[in-house]
Each structure stands twice: as C-alpha cells, then as structure tokens.
C-alpha cells in the first residue's frame, strides 16, 4: 500500500500553456504544501511564479534531457507532473525512476505512449506509479470510457469525439491554443484505428464526420488523427471483447482548411531546408513566427472565450440487450487566468489526479493508463468543482 502523505509536494516540469493551469490549481489546493515549477526557460518561468504570489511555489532550472540533474529536482517530491513536450516523456520517466518519484504526464501521442508502457516492470520493481496520458483527451476520456465499460457485460465499440468552438471577440483566424509541436504531429502523422479487432493505419485528417455537441459548440466537423487512447483501450478492455475503437477531433465547418494549407505549403515539415546558406526547419521557423506575432495562446491583451467538449460513446451488451452509453465533459476557458479551454481542460485533470496519486489514493504500481487506475466518480466529482462537469446519458439502471 502506498504511503499517505501529510504534506504534498509536486514538481511540475514545464511552464507552458497547460502546465501553468496545473500549477495554478495545485497552488490553490489546501492539501498541497509545495509546488516546484521546473523549466529550462528561467526568465519566463520566474516571471510566472512571481505572478502567482504564493509562498508554496518556487522555480527550479532544469533540462529534462539530463536525467541525473532532473532527478535531483524530483528528489523528495511525491509526484512529478510532466507538462513538457511529449518528445521528452521517456527522459522524465527515467529521472523519476532515479529519484524514486511517482509520475504523471499529459499524453504520448500513441507511439511514445507505447514506448512508455514498456517501462512497466521497472516502475513496478521500484514500487512507483506512472500514469500516462492524464489530461483531457487522453485522460478524462479514458476514465469516462472505464465508467461505461464497467457497466456492460461485453463491449463492441468505443467512439471518442472532441470538438471546439472559439467565440473570443476579434479572435485571430489562426492561433495555437495547445502545444504546436503536438498539434502538428497529430495532423501530419498517420492515424491509428482499431477495427474488427485489428489496429491499422489510416491517413491523418481522414474519415470525416459531422456531429452536434452541447451548446454553445453545436455542429462540428471531425476527422481522425493520431491519438493515445488507441495505444491502451484495445488492451485495457480486452476482457470485455472490445473490437472497435476510433478517435476524431474537429471544429466548426471548414476549420481544417487553414491547417491543410499550412501542411500543403510545407510549413509544418521538420526536415530542414537551406535558405541563404542557413539550414532551418520550416516548423521551427513557423513556430517562431507565431510566437513573435503572439499567436501561441491568445495575445496577452485578449481574454479567451472558447469551449471544448469531449464525448465518449460505448456500445455493448448488458444481460443480452444492446446498450449505448454516452459521457460528455464540457470545458470552457478560464477567463481570470486568460487560459483557453484546451489549456484549462488539460491542466486541471492532471492536477487533480496528481493530488490523488500523491495522497496515496492510487495504489497500483507500474506504468498505467488512466482507465486502469483512476476512480471515475472521484475524478468526476473534482472536475465538477472546477466547472468541468461530466454528463452521462445511459439507461436509468446505471444512474441510480
């Protein structure tokens, strides 16, 4: 059994768009005694920490590629909440093993998640827990799927859908409200679907579908992209006979056209090109351009007003009868933090589950996806307190 701590110390690695929301939530919690905000960018992070005006929070400089030095920052913490770019998930996990610190991250975009799961035995031997993909999608979506699957005798299909709408007055036509690198990878790499019991690749931005999400999002166009739920659902729900899993995301009609243009022009390519004798990655150049024009996150003088809804539909059988269960988590921007729904919706669940993990409420060790270790009612209750309600549409017998 994991120890129950009196004072909870969390190290948040990464002070980007989503990491900041996790930090703010942790600082507000009466059960958290210390929050270390660790990042390579000293000036930006120290400025953020000073703006918190909290004696709980302080800054540490760290390069997560240096496992030993990162381990020194993690030493003595109850949880390492990894909010850095997913490219470095394995580095932070290695540091957590050295420091003997529990670990949680926001997702590995399928391929990295699968590599992370290979560290299961090492975390078990160390008596540590590593929760992979505990943001919104993946994260809340995984736990919603667990709630539904547990109420069925068998499961045929799980459909995960995510849609958004930006109602910010005078919002820029293009703005990156979450990690640009992750966003580009999602929309460029082949997607994975689980179909008739087999994993297969399909082109990114394929299999279009129009769905209607709760007000004020309404009708959106969604497409399949690469995502982490596909790395774990087929195994996690194998005992229920799962045969089909797919994920799609999108926004208002025509939202994808700008992104397809950027991809077609090569502005999201990683492979360097030579300009005037200098080698430069088009993606790195474009990201720097977006940053200079203040289009990574909404500009500082703009208060975002946007909404995102994650929907999970589970189809199966109960007592010989066909049943479909739908769960939806609706999130809106946090205006006082100037945080978009995407940033708030990822950072808050990560903070909640990091606290559960640190307090000993998650007892299993090893590398685990959220559906295999997070208690759904406990998570849903905490989300509701933070204006992220989970709504359930299911037969009455499941709701009583």
Q: Give the CA distances from residue 228 to residues 115, 123, 387, in Å, rounded to whole numbers and listed in that order.
A: 12, 20, 25
pLDDT band, residue 1 (cuts 50/70/90): very low
What pLDDT is recorded for position 259?
83
| Judgement on whether residues 305 and 378 belong to the same structural domain of the protein | no
pLDDT surpasses 70 at 4: no
Kindly report the pTM of this predicted structure: 0.94
Average pLDDT over the chain, rounded to an integer: 94
Residues 320 and 221 in one domain: yes
Least confident piece of the model among 180-184, 186-190, 244-248, 268-272: 180-184
Residue 196 and residue 233 in one domain: yes
Q: Are residues 176 and 324 in the same domain?
A: yes
In a domain, 378, yes or no: yes
**Which three-class secondary structure string do you get for the chain?**
CCCCCCCEEEEEECCCHHHHHHHHHHHHCCCEEEEEEEECCHHHHHHHHHHHCCCCEEEEECCCCCHHHHHHHHCCCCEEEECCCHHHHHHHHHHHHHHCCEEEECCCCCHHHHHHHCCHHHHHHHCCEEECCCECCCEHHHHHHHHHHCCCCEEEEEEEEEEEEECCCCCCCCCECCCHHHHHHHHHCCEEEEECCEEEEECCCEEEEEEEECCCCEEEEEEECCCCHHHHHHHHCHHHCCCEEEEEEEECCCCHHHHHHHHHHCCCCCCCEEECCEEECHHHHHHHHHHHCCCECCCCCCCCCEEEEEEEEEEEEECCEEEEEEEEEEEECEHHHCECHHHHHHHHHHHHHHHHHHCCCCCCCEEECHHHCCCHHHHHHHHHHCCCCEEEECCHHHHC
Tens of pLDDT, residue by residue over 270-315, are 999 998 889 999 899 988 888 888 877 766 677 889 999 999 999 9
Tell whether 370 is covered by a domain: yes
Average pLDDT over residues 33-51: 96
Contact 190, 203 (CB under 8 A): yes
Within-domain flag for 290: no
CATH assignment of the domain containing 19: 3.40.50.720
What's the first-to-final CA gap in the chain, in angstroms?
31
268 part of a folded domain: no
CB under 8 Å to 329, separation ≥6 — which residues?
136, 140, 141, 144, 309, 310, 345, 383, 388, 389, 390, 391
Q: What is the CATH number of the domain that holds 218?
A: 3.30.360.10
Give the residue-averaged pLDDT of 68-75.
Answer: 98
Across the range 41-46, mean pLDDT stands at 94
Mean pLDDT of 84-101: 97
Q: What is the pLDDT of residue 184?
A: 87
Q: Does one domain contain both 222 and 79? A: no
How many other β-carbons are positioned within 10 Å of the β-carbon of residue 31? 12
Give a yes or no: residue 278 inside a domain.
no
Is the confidence at residue 387, as pLDDT, over 80?
Answer: yes
Question: Does one domain contain both 117 and 65?
Answer: yes
- Angle at which helix 341-358 crosses helix 17-28, to 10 degrees, equals 50
Overall domain count for the chain: 2
Domain hosting 196: range is 140-254+296-341+388-399
Asked if the structure places residue 244 within a domain, the reply is yes
> Is 302 found in the same domain as 187?
yes
Provide the token pair at 311: 């929907």
In a domain, 241, yes or no: yes
Residues 182 and 330 in one domain: yes
Quick one: what percent of the chain has pLDDT higher than 70?
97
**d(Cα 1, Cα 255) in Å, to the nearest integer?**
48
Same-domain check for residues 86 and 205: no
Same domain, 179 and 110: no
User: pLDDT tens for residues 352-384?
Assistant: 999 999 999 999 999 999 999 999 999 999 999
The verdict on 320 and 228 lying in the same domain is yes
pLDDT above 60 (res 2): no
Q: What is the pLDDT of residues 115-145, one digit of tens each?
A: 999 999 999 999 999 999 999 999 999 999 9
Q: Within a domain: residue 276?
A: no
Query: Do 197 and 310 lie in a common domain?
Result: yes
Give the pLDDT confidence of 316-334 residue by residue, as tens digits. 999 999 999 999 999 999 9
pLDDT at 299: 63
């Amino acid at each position: 059994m994991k120890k129950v701590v009196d004072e909870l110390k969390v190290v948040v690695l990464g002070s980007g768009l989503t990491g900041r929301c996790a930090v703010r939530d942790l600082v507000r919690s009466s059960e958290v005694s210390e929050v270390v905000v660790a990042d390579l960018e000293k000036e930006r992070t120290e400025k953020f920490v000073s703006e918190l005006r909290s004696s709980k929070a302080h800054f540490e400089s760290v390069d997560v590629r240096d496992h030993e030095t990162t381990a020194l920052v993690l030493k003595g913490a109850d949880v390492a909440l990894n909010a850095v770019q997913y490219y470095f998930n394995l580095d932070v996990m290695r540091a957590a093993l050295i420091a003997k610190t529990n670990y949680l991250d926001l997702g590995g975009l399928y391929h990295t998640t699968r590599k992370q799961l290979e560290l299961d035995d090492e975390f078990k031997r160390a008596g540590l827990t590593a929760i992979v993909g505990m943001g919104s999608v993946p994260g809340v979506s995984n736990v919603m799927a667990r709630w539904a699957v547990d109420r069925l005798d068998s499961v045929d299909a799980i459909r995960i859908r995510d849609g958004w709408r930006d109602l910010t007055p005078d919002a820029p036509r293009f703005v990156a409200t979450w990690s640009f690198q992750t966003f580009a990878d999602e929309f460029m790499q082949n997607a994975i679907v689980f179909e008739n019991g087999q994993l297969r690749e399909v082109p990114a931005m394929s299999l279009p579908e129009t769905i209607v999400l709760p007000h004020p999002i309404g009708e959106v166009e969604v497409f399949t992209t690469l995502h982490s739920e596909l790395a774990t659902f087929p195994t996690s729900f194998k005992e229920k006979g799962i045969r089909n899993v797919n994920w799609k995301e999108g926004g208002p009609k025509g939202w994808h056209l700008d992104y397809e243009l950027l991809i077609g022009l090569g502005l999201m390519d990683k492979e360097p090109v030579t300009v005037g004798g200098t080698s430069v990655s088009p993606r790195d150049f474009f990201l720097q351009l977006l940053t200079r024009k203040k289009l990574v996150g909404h500009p500082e003088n703009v208060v975002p007003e946007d909404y995102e809804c994650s929907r999970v539909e589970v189809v199966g059988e109960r007592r010989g009868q066909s049943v479909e269960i739908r769960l939806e988590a609706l999130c809106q921007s946090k205006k006082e933090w100037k945080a978009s729904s995407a940033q708030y919706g990822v950072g808050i669940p990560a903070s909640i589950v990091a606290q559960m993990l640190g307090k000993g409420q998650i007892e299993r060790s090893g590398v685990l996806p959220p559906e295999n270790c997070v208690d759904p009612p406990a998570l849903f209750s905490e989300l509701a307190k933070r204006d992220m309600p989970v709504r359930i549409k299911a037969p009455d017998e499941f709701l009583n």
